[in-house]
Amino acid sequence: MKLCIIDTGCANLASLKFCCGRLGHEALITRDLKELEMADKLFLPGVGTARNVMDSLRRLDLVSFLQKNKKPLLGICLGMQILGIFSEELRQETLGIIPFKTYEFKKKDGFTLPHMGWNDIKSSHPLFKGLDGAYFYFVHSFCVDINDYSIASCEYSQIFSAAVAMDNFYGVQFHPERSAEAGEILIKTFIKDIG
């Protein structure tokens, strides 16, 4: 099983690599197209702004590869958001793989941004087998509304998509690599049972 973590230059990749290692799987951090094309499973992490990560993907000539990819891919946090068509953050067009948009959280009294910390999710999707109601670690100020591609939900000032999926593309808004046992279970399921 060849696992590749796509090095966009816009994420802390070491914690994801270490998480895979704890599960007994070596994961290669790379931006080399030949390596990525040989992968069985791909991870697309992202931190920062949608504009920064899209600029980086264009600079690395990875946009077309991602859009045409047929391997199971898991987008994490911003990596999930850029699977959509547009982000309200700096009004940025994104990869256009799954037809959803990313918006800033609705402002409500008692809720501060970013949404940071542990929160529970609701899901009956196979990616979350045994994890309905589990707590995961979130850090984000922008979110995806519930839509036809939502496979998990969470609530913080509003109900939003904690995860999406379409065909071979999956995305989670939280950081599974920082979510203790629940996160490791999810990554193990993605590696072993998805696709």
The residues annotated as belonging to the active site are: 77, 175, 177
Contacts of 56 (CB under 8 A, 6+ apart): 8, 9, 10
Q: How far apart are CA 45 and CA 5, in angstroms?
A: 8
Contacts of 140 (CB under 8 A, 6+ apart): 77, 78, 114, 115, 173
